[in-house]
Structure 1
Amino acid sequence: MQDRILLIEDDEELRGLLARYLNGQGFVVREAATGNDGLALAQDELADLVVLDIMLPDINGLDVLRQLRYRTRLPVILLTARGEETDRIVGFEVGADDYIPKPCNPRELVARIQAALRRVAWDQETEGPRAQTIGDLRIEPDERRVYQDDQPVELTATEYEILQVLISRAGSVVRKTDLMQWALGRRLTPHDRTLDMHVSNLRRKLDKGESSRIETIRGLGYSYRRPA
């Protein structure tokens, strides 16, 4: 079965170029030029992944993302203006899984899409371990959900993957290069702060005023502190 992509982009020329390229790579593409149209198509649940432009004519793409997150856990890749780091940070806080700056290389977009879809497919096809408890967190692999003090924590698919990797190696340092490959399915490149932003969001969602459970090991990577 072909993977289905929902492409929400108001620039007709760019949207057409990306749609043709994605079709040529074997994807089924549904197109929307506005946020409202994109949300209407997303309601049909006929997509496996969403590519979402932030700058839309009717609804800001970040607001579209917020509404998507109320309804679905589909992976979402943001198209952002080059250099707009604030948009990228807010996008990750709202629930984006990845981003790519515009103008984007269609080949890179396909690589990001394939990496995100591989993570989803692996999670669906692999029989995961039983529920794991570490301190106040309980991880339910079958549900792909995390509970803190028995209350669900809303994580994106990428945040869940990062947390899974860190907890599986609690007390040890996970190098950034390895964490990027295992959790996001791609190589770490210079000046790419995607991983740092996801970890920042995890800290914001999991820490309750105490020192962070995810430690930064300068020059190496991250480590999940074992509970005392």
Structure 2
Amino acid sequence: MKQILLVEDDREISRNLTLLLQGENFSVTAAATQAQAVALAEARRFDLALVDLNLPDGSGYAVCTALQQGGGVPVIFLTASGDEASVVTGLNMGAVDYITKPFRPRELVARIQGALRRAGSAPQVFTRGALTVDTAGGIVKVAGREVPLSALEYRLLLVFVNNPNGIITRDRLLDELWDAAGEFVTNNALTVYIKRLREKLGDDPAAPQLILTVRGTGYRLGDGHAAQ
């Protein structure tokens, strides 16, 4: 049974989430403060943590740091704000995902299951051509230079990193990507995000070598030798 640390100061939300996750066969340990959560992170091993960004005695960032020091526990931030800067800060600290309140219960469960799958299969440092992705630190570099990505661009890149040898359909990408408001990304928006990600990674959208288009199906990773 997977062990989940839930860090949430709102008692009703904490109780409802605990019941939801227990119903999905997770074991849940709840903490209401930064101090409680850090103490638990130092004393026990968890498979994943759900961490509210705003806590009465501090922030979820400190909890995330403690969990990373304890062995790289996957962290999903719970936030009442779609503030891009807060989300990017969390991802750069090593969080694997974020979800904006209010959220759909099935959406949260799907995010947790996806994070657990990725934690069991993805390497901490992924390299393809000139691209290097440190998934533990949330750092992306091309030819040794750090590349700043938005939260959604980073999440998009992680889908490819976690599936380096297969074709990823557009439908799958649309299922996995959510914007900061918690709504599905549209088909047209996905095309735009792919283009932006290619540009930031030095992958010419007109002749890509890293994120390749599989006509009529989706995308796959190439050798990336043109990325620079």
C-alpha distance in 2 between matches for 1:43 and 1:190: 37
Structure 2 length as normaliser, TM-score?
0.62
Matching of residues 146-161 of structure 1 within 5 Å: 161=158
Structure-2 residue corresponding to 1:106: 105
Q: 1:53 to 1:138 in 2, by over 3 A?
A: closer
What's the % identity of the aligned pairs? 32
Q: Deviations over 1:9-39 (max 9, x none)?
A: 1111111110111111111000100111111
Q: 1:104 to 1:132 in 2, by over 3 A?
A: closer
Q: Deviations over 1:198-228 (max 9, x none)?
A: xx9x99xxxxxxx95453749x9x7374158
How far does residue 109 in structure 1 lie from its aligned partner after superposition? 1.1
How far does residue 104 in structure 1 lie from its aligned partner after superposition? 2.4
Structure-2 residue corresponding to 1:9: 8
Matching of residues 166-181 of structure 1 within 5 Å: none
SS of match in other structure, 2:108: helix
C-alpha distance in 1 between matches for 2:121 and 2:168: 21
Q: Deviations over 1:138-175 (max 9, x none)?
A: 99xxxxxx9999xxxxxxxx799556358658xxx977
Contact preservation (8 Å) 2:48, 2:73: yes
C-alpha distance in 1 between matches for 2:23 and 2:168: 37
Considering only aligned residues, what root-mean-square deviation do their CA atoms show, in Å? 4.3
C-alpha distance in 2 between matches for 1:62 and 1:216: 36
SS of match in other structure, 1:164: helix
C-alpha distance in 2 between matches for 1:148 and 1:217: 16
Q: 1:147 to 1:187 in 2, by over 3 A?
A: closer
Q: 1:216 to 1:18 in 2, by over 3 A?
A: farther
Structure-1 residue corresponding to 2:203: 215
Structure-2 residue corresponding to 1:46: 45
C-alpha distance in 2 between matches for 1:187 and 1:148: 23
Structure-2 residue corresponding to 1:58: 57
Q: 1:138 to 1:89 in 2, by over 3 A?
A: closer
C-alpha distance in 1 between matches for 2:40 and 2:200: 39
C-alpha distance in 2 between matches for 1:87 and 1:187: 18
Structure 1 length as normaliser, TM-score?
0.62
Q: 1:216 to 1:147 in 2, by over 3 A?
A: closer
Gaps of 5+ in 2: 135-139, 144-154, 179-183, 212-221
Contact preservation (8 Å) 1:177, 1:187: no
How far does residue 136 in structure 1 lie from its aligned partner after superposition? 8.3
Contact preservation (8 Å) 2:4, 2:47: yes
Contact preservation (8 Å) 1:52, 1:61: yes
How far does residue 86 in structure 1 lie from its aligned partner after superposition? 2.4
Structure-2 residue corresponding to 1:26: 25
Contact preservation (8 Å) 1:79, 1:100: yes
Q: Deviations over 1:100-123 (max 9, x none)?
A: 111222222111111111223345
Contact preservation (8 Å) 1:5, 1:29: yes
Number of residue-to-residue matches in the alignment? 187
Structure-1 residue corresponding to 2:161: 164
Matched letter for residue 91 of structure 1? G
Q: 1:81 to 1:138 in 2, by over 3 A?
A: closer
C-alpha distance in 1 between matches for 2:9 and 2:71: 22
Q: 1:138 to 1:215 in 2, by over 3 A?
A: closer
C-alpha distance in 2 between matches for 1:86 and 1:138: 20
Contact preservation (8 Å) 2:78, 2:100: yes
Q: 1:50 to 1:165 in 2, by over 3 A?
A: closer
